[in-house]
Structure 1
Amino acid sequence: MEFSQYPVDALLKITNRPDLVFTEGQGMWLTDHQGKRYLDYLQGWAVNCLGHSPQCLQDALVKQAAKVINPSPAFYNEPSIELAALLTENSCFDRVFFANSGAEANEGAIKLARKWGKLNKNAAGEARYEIITFNHGFHGRTLATMSASGKTGWDTIFAPQVPGFPKAELNDIASVERLITDKTVGVMLEPVQGEGGVLPATREFMQALRKLTQERGLLLIVDEVQAGMGRTGELFAYQLSGIEPDIMTLGKGIGGGVPLSALLCREEFAVFEPGDQGGTYNGNPLMTAVGAAVLKELLAPGFLQSVKDKGQYLRGELLKLCEKHSLDGERGEGLLRALKLGSNIGAQIVDIARDMEPVGLLLNSPRSDLLRFMPALNVTKEEIDQMISMLSEILGKIKG
């Protein structure tokens, strides 16, 4: 099948892609090279928090591109200062470092924690460096963040792993406490495990974890690369539990579609010295101008409440599907939700949905028995209804 004027073999194969090229996108919709439209419930894996090509993103890019694109991170630039101020004014954090991807932000968090552990040694005068992470967690694809992740099989792909990441069980505070040693410097987790199958940490667990880390003099690091930026109905997922972490990472939604991420920390943990951390594009004004535009949209009156309302609506419609097709239930927070299928039909559903005519549906199955939904935060109820109707049609054919 000819679907591009260029040879696709020039791309390094890192995933199995279908034979189509997306050429346009608007809101919840994508259009391919043949003009077919797709209702998109991936949104770049929770990246396009305002949908495809929102006007505010277009305006920010055009306006900033006419001013300055890259003055070098050795100098201040206005968009990065503005975005840092917006983030600290609306969170419990005081300092921000901008990067390009969630993995890079998480790598920075690991480095910051280890630097703090070097300055705040244990009773024997030794640096602390171990960070307790969680089975089924996902923190990125660098060697350190893969080692921190609890994804099955990742301990052997690029072995040996980076040491120092013992694994606990989400929502089991005793499993965390058992792993604490004199080498432990902190605990790092996703408030909602996205790649693990949309597994939320309970309010009680997050509160117990905050208490335990404070009592033991440990850092609490929240990876909100997927769950942050309004995805759960709160601006940041840690706010669901009424706690204040020490370090937070953001990615995906903060750029609304452009490569941008952030590492945030409270003042007492801002221990990097000049030369400890950096990056050619950190704080790039073109990207941070977009980030500021995105964040202003999320902070607009009523926006986050609308995410909560539509999250509840999606939850209700998914539960109706469960009843109609004898599925195992749903879970999630806000507009990050999962449908438990009860059998290993996830990949089959994804393929059938994409190939539907005349309109396709883009879905994600991070586990074979599960579908994950990551719509734009401004998705409409009509677009939720349309997805539910299409998915119900597929389930009816598969399950009979």
Structure 2
Amino acid sequence: MSLAAVPVQAASGAPAAGEAILRRQRVRESAARTYARSFPIVPVRAHGMTVEGADGRRYLDCLSGAGTLALGHNHPVVLEAIRRTLDSGAPLHLLDLATAEKDDFTSALFESLPAEFAARARVHFCGPAGTDAVEAALKLMQTATGRSGALAFTGAYHGMTAGALALTGNVAVKEPLPSGGEVARLPYPYGYRCPFGVGGEAGADLAATYVERLLDDPSGGVVAPAAMILEAVQGEGGVVPAPDGWLRAMRRITAERGIPLIVDEVQTGVGRTGAMWAIEHSGIVPDAMVLSKAIGGSLPLAVVVYREDYDGWRPGAHTGTFRGNTLAMAAGAATLRHVAANGLVERAAVVGERMAARLRELAAELPVIGDVRGRGLMLGVELVDPAAEPDACGARPADPALAVRVREACLARGLIVELGGRHDAVLRLLPPLTITDEQVAAVLERLAAAIAAASTGGPTGGSANGSAGAPTVRGNR
């Protein structure tokens, strides 16, 4: 059957029931809801990359649960692992007691990690969201070093709880809140909008030099920190990949100064970037990795994996009631092994480069596309005002209003994409690693049509409840 977003046979009254559900959501749920504003649909069924709404339309999902669904929706391997666990009578909740399911998940996880890191690693099961794993990683390093501050980067996103939010770069979500602790903000290498106005490799070199000089300056204002935390590819920050050389520089700088390095792999992990873990592109070995999203096979799960040297916690130092759901561990183990055994990491690299190449061709045709970037199946398309004057690096001002129109036009064409970046002007593509060649072609065709329609001022063919004027908060950690 064609991948077009055509109406499908739906139960009688389903569209009306969907509208009623949406109305109740608007009345009952908080003003902080996000994705529901962008995508006013009520999913009733999903398989792989396809989501069917109560309105009887099918959509290709390039959001994938904000990167959670490595295998797409309801993959047979995941469903079989869940059913097997349920049928076995295994307890679904046992705090942090040892179970066969936890042991199997831990084995699968350690098998997937870079060998040098896994050989001396410990794992801590946290509350089931990435933000709690970030909090745990910070507390771990504070305990180990006796220090309290942290180094974090412009454009960072690490979660919405107090400590993780302090590390996050987005000012809009932090303004109403008291400070979450002393954080030194460092420049992240963002080639298209280089903080030093030079771009490229030179900009990344300057960013590394700045960090090193600042940390060594006795009047630089930075107290010795408990840790540095970074993302190898910034997701919410606009799909900005860090150059491998810069990552190696950060590892050298922190190691030389006795600063633990935490890498947040919540969104980049499990094959997303064309490597099982994004650190593998650069070859660095961090002191800790924060993992969530895809490691639970679509169910909530979060862990910190760290060098055993730092395991100085006392019992109960970071605890919580939901530390490793049995179903999530079973689904996660199945996902990790399926990704590794079926070459999905390598496919993500190949398909991601193919999509990026087509998007770069599209940028040559459509001047509203300022930049195409990413790694593997983590791609970003930054939309700009082509009539505006470029800056010193050749970048034109972001166009968030256009981005909203493109998102609406995509939805009208049966394509779910979300926005991100400094000005919410980056179209983020996070398709499942299982995306087929036919689906790749459909995604690119629909995206090209949506950008063309939205940028020429013609009708987008749909509408959403989002607003170009309000900051978008995503991540769902």
Report the TM-score, using the length of structure 1 for normalisation. 0.92
From 389, 403, 409, give the equivalent of 1:352: 409
1:85 aligns with 2:120: no
Are residues 1:340 and 2:359 paired?
Answer: no
Does the Cα contact within 8 Å between 1:132 and 1:176 map onto a contact in 2? no
Alignment-derived partner of residue 135 in structure 1: 154
How far apart in 1 are the matches of 2:254 and 2:102? 31
1:356-367 to structure 2, matched below 5 A, reads 356=413, 360-367=414-421
SS at match of 2:449: helix
Instruction: Specify the alignment match of 1:277 in structure 2.
Output: 318
Deviations 1:273-305 (A, max 9, x none): 211012111122211111101100111152211
Q: Aligned to 1:328, what secondary structure does the other structure show?
A: strand
The residue that corresponds to 2:238 in the other structure is: 197
Q: Distance in 2 between matches of 1:23 and 1:69?
A: 29
Per-residue CA distance 1:5-64 (angstroms, 9 max, x = gap): 553223233225244211111111100012110111111111111001101111111111
Aligned-residue offset at 1:98: 2.2
Give, as a single letter, the amino acid of the residue that structure 2 aligns with 1:148.
Answer: L
Amino acid at match of 2:77: C
Q: CA deviation at 1:341?
A: 2.0
Task: State the partner residue of 2:373.
Answer: 331
1:390 paired residue number? 446
Counterpart for residue 185 of structure 2: 167
Aligned 8 A contact 1:130 1:186 in 2: yes
- 1:74–1:236 distance in 2 versus 1, CA, 3 Å: closer
Structure 1 residues 24-35: aligned runs within 5 Å = 24-35=45-56
SS at 1:377's partner residue? coil
Say if 2:298 and 2:331, in contact at 8 Å, map to a contact too. no
* Distance in 1 (alpha carbons) for counterparts of 2:69 and 2:297: 5
Question: What is the 5 A alignment of 1:25-64?
Answer: 25-64=46-85
Q: Distance in 2 between matches of 1:395 and 1:286?
A: 40
Contact 1:101 1:261 in 2 (8 A): yes
Name the SS for the 2:341 alignment partner. Answer: coil
CA-based RMSD: 1.7
39-48 or 325-334, which deviates more: 325-334
Distance in structure 2 (CA, Å) of the matches to 1:129 and 1:114:
6
Question: CA separation in 2, counterparts of 1:54 and 1:301?
Answer: 14
Which shifted more, 381-390 or 217-226? Answer: 381-390
Q: 3-state DSSP class of the match of 1:167?
A: strand
**Cα offset for 1:378?**
1.1
Please state how far the C-alpha of 1:370 moved relative to its aligned partner: 1.6
> Does the 8 A contact of 2:60 with 2:415 survive in 1?
yes
Q: 2:97 aligns with which of 41, 65, 75?
A: 75
Using the TM superposition, give the Cα deviation of residue 185 of structure 1 relative to its aligned residue in structure 2, in angstroms.
Answer: 2.1
Partner residue of 1:11? 29
Q: Report the AA paired with residue 108 of structure 2.
A: L
Q: How far does the alpha carbon of each residue in 1:208-231 deviate from its partner, in whole angstroms, 9 at most, with x for none?
A: 111111110110100010111110
Give the conservation status (yes or no) of the 8 Å contact 2:96–2:324: no
Return the offset for 1:390: 1.1
Greater Cα offset, 149-158 or 177-186: 177-186
| Alignment-derived partner of residue 21 in structure 1 | 42
d(CA) in 1 for partners of 2:84 and 2:20? 32
Counterpart CA distance in 2 for 1:52 and 1:229 is 16
Please list every run of 5 or more consecutive structure 2 residues that lacks an aligned counterpart in the other structure.
1-15, 190-206, 216-221, 386-398, 457-477
Which residue number corresponds to residue 393 of structure 2?
none
The 5 Å alignment of 1:227-242 reads 227-242=268-283
Which letter does structure 2 place at the counterpart of 1:44? Answer: G
Residue 179 of structure 1: CA displacement?
Answer: 4.5
CA distance in 2, matches of 1:175, 1:186: 17
**Alignment partner, residue 122 of structure 1:** none
Offset, 1:157: 2.3
Task: Give the letter aligned to residue 406 of structure 2.
Answer: I
Q: Residue in 2 aligned with 1:225?
A: 266
Question: Which residue of 1 is the match for residue 201 of structure 2?
Answer: none
Residue type of the alignment partner of 1:14: A
Which portions of structure 1, spanning 4 or more consecutive aligned residues, are displaced by more than 4 angstroms?
A: none
Deviations 1:84-135 (A, max 9, x none): 12222332131112230111111111111111112xxxxxxxxx12110001
Equivalent in the alignment of 2:139: 111
AA paired with 1:174?
Answer: T
Q: Supply the AA of the counterpart residue of 1:156.
A: E
| Alignment correspondent of 1:379 | 435
State the shift of 1:379 in Å: 0.7
2:226 aligned counterpart, secondary structure: strand
Aligned residues: 387
User: More displaced, 333-342 or 60-69?
Assistant: 60-69
| CA positional deviation for 1:399 | 2.9
Q: 2:229 aligns with which of 188, 206, 216?
A: 188
Q: How far apart are residue 154 of structure 1 and its match?
A: 3.2
Q: Structure 1: 5+ residue runs without aligned partners?
A: 119-127
Amino acid at match of 1:352: A
Please name the residue that 1:123 is paired with: none
Q: Distance in 2 between matches of 1:74 and 1:374?
A: 32
* Aligned residues of 1:147 and 1:154 also touching (Cα < 8 A): no
Q: Calculate the TM-score normalised by the size of structure 2.
A: 0.78
